[in-house]
Structure 1
Amino acid sequence: MNQSSKQGWRTLLFLLLAAAAVLGACAGPADDHVKQKNVALIVRMKHGDYWRTVKLGAEMAAREFGVNVNFYAPDYEEDVKGQLALVRQAFADGTDAVVIAPDGQQVLDEAAARAKEQRIPVLTIDSELTGPGVASCIGTDHYDSGKKAGEKLIELVGPYGRIAVLGAGGGNGGQREKGLLDAIARYPGVTIAAREYAVSDQNQASELAAGIIAAQPIDGIAALNAVSALGAAHEIEKRGLAGKVKVVAIDSPPDVLAYIQEGVIQATIMQKPFSMGYLGVKHAVEAINGLPVPARVDTGTKIIDMDNMFWSENQKLLFPFVK
Structure 2
Amino acid sequence: MKPSKIISLNILIVFAVLLMYFFSTNMNFFSVFNREYDVVLVMKTTERISEFWVILEKGAIQAAEDLGVNITINGPDMEDNIQQQINIMEEVIESKPDAIILAATDFNRLVPAAAMAREKKIDLLTVDSFISSNDSQCEIGTVNIAAGAKLGGYMTGQLNAGDTVAIISFVADSSPAIEREMGVRSALGEQFKILDTIYTNNNMNLGYSETKRILSEYPELKAIAALNENSAVGTYRAIKDSERAGDILFVTFDSDLELIQGLEDGIIKATLVQKPYNMGYLAVQNAYYLIKGRSVPPSIDTGSELISRENMYDIKNQKLLFPSK
TM-score (norm 1): 0.89
**Cα separation, 1, equivalents of 2:244 and 2:108:** 42
Structure 2 residue 236 is the aligned partner of structure 1 residue 241: no
Superposed, which structure 2 residues align to 1:115-264 within 5 Å? 115-159=117-161, 161-168=163-170, 169-171=172-174, 172-185=176-189, 188=191, 190-192=192-194, 195-215=197-217, 216-264=219-267
Superposed, which structure 2 residues align to 1:1-323 within 5 Å? 6-27=1-22, 30-33=28-31, 34-47=34-47, 48-105=50-107, 107-159=109-161, 161-168=163-170, 169-171=172-174, 172-185=176-189, 188=191, 190-192=192-194, 195-215=197-217, 216-322=219-325
Cα-to-partner distance string for 1:235-254 (whole Å, 9 max, x where unaligned): 22112322211210011222
Q: Secondary structure at the match of 1:203?
A: helix
- Kindly state the Cα deviation for residue 262 of structure 1 after the two structures are TM-superposed: 2.1
Unaligned runs of at least 5 residues, structure 1: 1-5
Larger mean Cα displacement after TM superposition, 136-145 or 303-312: 303-312
Contact 2:44 2:79 in 1 (8 A): yes
Q: Secondary structure at the match of 2:255?
A: coil
**Cα separation, 2, equivalents of 1:105 and 1:153:** 27
- Kindly state the Cα deviation for residue 28 of structure 1 after the two structures are TM-superposed: 5.3
Q: 1:161 to 1:42 in 2, by over 3 A?
A: same
**Cα separation, 1, equivalents of 2:317 and 2:18:** 55
Contact 1:200 1:227 in 2 (8 A): yes
Cα-to-partner distance string for 1:41-92 (whole Å, 9 max, x where unaligned): 1011012321111211111111222211111111101111211121122123
| CA RMSD, Structure 1 to Structure 2 (Å) | 2.2
Letter in 1 for 2:9: F
- Kindly state the Cα deviation for residue 27 of structure 1 after the two structures are TM-superposed: 4.5
Q: Secondary structure at the match of 1:219?
A: strand
Larger mean Cα displacement after TM superposition, 228-237 or 273-282: 228-237
Contact 1:193 1:218 in 2 (8 A): no
Q: Secondary structure at the match of 2:138?
A: strand
Q: 1:81 to 1:128 in 2, by over 3 A?
A: closer
Contact 2:39 2:70 in 1 (8 A): yes
Aligned length: 315
Contact 2:108 2:132 in 1 (8 A): no
Larger mean Cα displacement after TM superposition, 57-66 or 305-314: 305-314
Contact 1:45 1:76 in 2 (8 A): yes
- Kindly state the Cα deviation for residue 95 of structure 1 after the two structures are TM-superposed: 0.1
Q: 1:43 to 1:142 in 2, by over 3 A?
A: same
**Cα separation, 2, equivalents of 1:191 and 1:84:** 38
Contact 1:194 1:212 in 2 (8 A): no
Unaligned runs of at least 5 residues, structure 2: none
Q: 1:250 to 1:23 in 2, by over 3 A?
A: same
Q: Secondary structure at the match of 2:234?
A: helix
Q: 1:91 to 1:15 in 2, by over 3 A?
A: same
**Cα separation, 2, equivalents of 1:293 and 1:57:** 19
- Kindly state the Cα deviation for residue 257 of structure 1 after the two structures are TM-superposed: 1.4
Q: Secondary structure at the match of 1:291?
A: coil
Cα-to-partner distance string for 1:3-28 (whole Å, 9 max, x where unaligned): xxx43222222222233333444445
TM-score (norm 2): 0.88
**Cα separation, 1, equivalents of 2:109 and 2:163:** 41
Q: Secondary structure at the match of 2:271?
A: strand
Larger mean Cα displacement after TM superposition, 283-292 or 32-41: 32-41
**Cα separation, 1, equivalents of 2:298 and 2:196:** 37
- Kindly state the Cα deviation for residue 37 of structure 1 after the two structures are TM-superposed: 0.8
Cα-to-partner distance string for 1:146-182 (whole Å, 9 max, x where unaligned): 1111111223335564322222333321211111111
Q: Secondary structure at the match of 1:134?
A: coil
Q: 1:120 to 1:93 in 2, by over 3 A?
A: closer
Q: Secondary structure at the match of 1:268?
A: strand
**Cα separation, 2, equivalents of 1:234 and 1:118:** 46
